[in-house]
Chain A
Amino acid sequence: MKLFNRLVFVTMIFSIFVAACASAPAATTAAQPTAKPFKVGLLVSGPVKDQGWNQTAYDAFVTIQKELGAKFSYLELGQDQAAYQKAFRDYGSQGYNMVLGHGNEFQDSAVAVAKDFPNTYFFISSSRYNGPKEGHPNVIGLNTDSSQPYYLFGVIAAMMGKSAGIVGGMNIPPISETYTGFINGVRSVNPNFPVTTTYIGNFTDITAAKEAAQSMVSQGVDVILPNADNAGNGVYQLLTENTKLIGFGTYRPPAQKDDFSICPKTCVANYVLDYGSALIDLAKQIQAGTFKPTGNIEYGVKDKTVMYITYNENAATPVPANVRQAVDNAISAISSGKVNTLAGNPLTKN
């Protein structure tokens, strides 16, 4: 056995050597200096082209690359939080100007390295981290308050349906907050309107998501919506098969078109989250040197270019005018701060 160990060791030395030879010429080409480009980096914890959460950011960065002539690279890190810090450090030491950790799970790691790279702005999605206040002026939490559009969905659901259900991935704030928003919206119309919720426990099991939706429908639910990333497609599949239901779409331009193709008859309204336009705006400010952070940034329905609702005129039952009026009223109430869509969420004690 000792023999075998030695062999493995020799092998490793060999492979390191070979790899070193292979890499030697390229190292010189990589080091060619250019006129200090604007560099942006993205860290995601899943596939970048997931047609969902990650792709929102990815597409925005591609736009930044094209429109601002920036150098862009991204990194899919999986759930391995241990690797995040190294990733931030790599970006920082390579002089990146703007790095986005796309998800709250990146927050600790960004905070840990931020001091060493004062010229890099570290943004964290789904985070309310107030860097300037916490002594890390270059770490900025960005949050899109999705409980607000889900509140609007709740208003529509309660006015158009009999019973509603949400199929979620895992009990994490971006998901549970939408549950709260939806329920608050429903209650604002009809306090006795039934809402059922389920978590399938992951974001990949599309079959389980569909099964969860089906079980809700057989218990009388007629308004149903997913919030489970990839797995949510299972719910849309049911919405396509069963045209008596009412559903809602979530669209993240520019990768996705606001066209209701995922459930053309049953999805009556879309929540459009153009998080990308917010990111592009930030990149422009940083490039121009006008970005002066004062705290974390919170996007909501008040930011009408970032977060808005569209209606499906070709739905089996389009949203009636009085409901749209109610939605508009809700939007102004939320924007003015009269309504707190997150009220009562056990996970967000502010």
Chain B
Amino acid sequence: MRAVTEISNNHEFSMRIRKVLQGTLMPFIAILIALAIGAVILIAANFNPLQAYQAMYLGAFADFSSFTEVLLDATPLICIGVGLAVAFRCGIWNIGGEGQFYAGAVTGTAIALYAPALPGWILLPLVLVGGAAGGALWAMLAGYLKTRFGANEVVTTVMLNYVAIIATSYLVSGPMIEPRGTYPQTAQIPDGARLPLIMPPTRLNLGFIIALLLAVGLYLLIFKSSTGYAIRAVGINPEAAHYAGIQVKKNILLAMAISGGAAGLGGAMQIAGVTYRLFQQISPGFGFTAIAVSLLVNNNPLGIILAGILFGGLSTGARLMQMNAGVPAVLVNVIQGLVILSVVAFGAYRILTMEREE
């Protein structure tokens, strides 16, 4: 897809129009194809696909309050996704968004619960910054292992996911367990540590706005700053970047820190804005879905906002589909997978046809 932007400047107007049309239609068709294949699966399993999809649509968009739930679901996906985009742009396959989300959730909760009584305007930012720092440190551990020992980040981040999840399980059933000590979860965080609701009575909170700002900020960082240029240069060709005087290791660590920081912020905001306490399975796999969200739009933070909302909408909708049409909600995983495959197929097709036209 990078090829598309690079050559687009030199093309005639009519080509542009054609591309816009192609580009507009194709992701759209891609989503339709995914839904169509999903429909075939539904029919094969004896469900009425129209009924199922309608229920799914209503679950996400029936009214404004449903849509706020979509945005709520999209928030962690956007946070982790934009972070991953930075790492992926740097050529680092950070599969550890899940673990970094947990790390942020744990540090955020710890600050919210154990910091001395502070006014909200100090405590809340502290929780969020602390969450980001927790995620960043967790990610930098993998970055350090890579730059110092050459340890492959795919392996270390996958392993660190498990470590973070198991550590959380230990913390909430041991040291951080709620005072009445019954269930493996922490106490609720104080009001001062909670993100304000922006549209009561819906649960939509400031976290979504922060996620949007984060996406815009990281977009500017990646594409409009010299730091972003260096990170991308390392991602495109580390050796060339090295000869161009860019500090490869420093940029890898930086990219991992940003990546983990964003995921960690997402984790802290999940606590501060949605659950108000930490428990064992605070994430239903946001970190893994976010990989898809980021890659779907070629690691562009602004695109991730939309992709995150799309995926959030699919999972929110799937829950109502299950409720009203009796279709197992896991179908949504299939559709999300198919959306990705169709989009990449069309993206690749577009590049191929353009290469031919050159």
Contacts and interface: CB of A to CB of B under 8 A. Distances in A.
B322 A76 contact: yes
Interface in B261-304: 270, 274-277, 279-282, 284, 297-298, 300, 302-303
Nearest to A83: B319
Q: Is the interface of A mostly helix, strand, loop or mixed?
A: helix
Task: Determine the interface band of chain A, counting residues with CB < 8 A from chain B.
Answer: 35 or more
Contacts of A172: 183-184, 280
A19 B57 contact: yes
A3 B8 contact: yes
Contact of A78 (B69, B279, B284): B284
Contacts of B23: 3-4, 7
A347 B1 contact: no
Nearest to A13: B28
A85 B203 contact: yes
A10 interface: yes
Given A7-B24, A82-B72, A1 B184 contact: no
B31 interface: yes
B280 A170 contact: yes
Task: Determine the interface band of chain B, counting residues with CB < 8 A from chain A.
Answer: 35 or more
A90 B279 CA distance: 24
Nearest to A87: B319
Nearest to B57: A19
A26 B297 CA distance: 33
Q: Is the interface of B mostly helix, strand, loop or mixed?
A: helix
B50 A80 contact: no
B257 interface: no
Among A2, A4, A15, A108, max chain B CB count under 10 A is at A4
B316 interface: yes
Given A75-B322, A172-B183, A4 B57 contact: no
Interface string A76-120: 111111110111001000000000000011001000000010000
Interface string A110-137: 0000001000000000001000000000
A349 B328 contact: no
A116 B65 CA distance: 15
Closest 4 CB pairs of A and B: A19-B57, A79-B281, A80-B284, A11-B28
Interface of B: 1, 4-5, 8, 19-20, 23-24, 26-28, 31-32, 50-51, 53-54, 57-58, 61, 66, 69, 72-73, 166, 169, 173, 180-184, 188, 201, 203, 223, 270, 274-277, 279-282, 284, 297-298, 300, 302-303, 306-307, 309-310, 315-316, 319-320, 322-324, 326, 328-330
Given A1-B1, A4-B303, A83-B69, 11 more contacts: A3-B5, A7-B20, A75-B323, A76-B329, A81-B282, A82-B72, A83-B73, A108-B277, A170-B169, A170-B280, A173-B183
Interface of A: 1-12, 14-16, 19-20, 22-23, 26-27, 41, 47, 73-83, 85-87, 90, 104-105, 108, 116, 128, 170-173, 201, 346-349
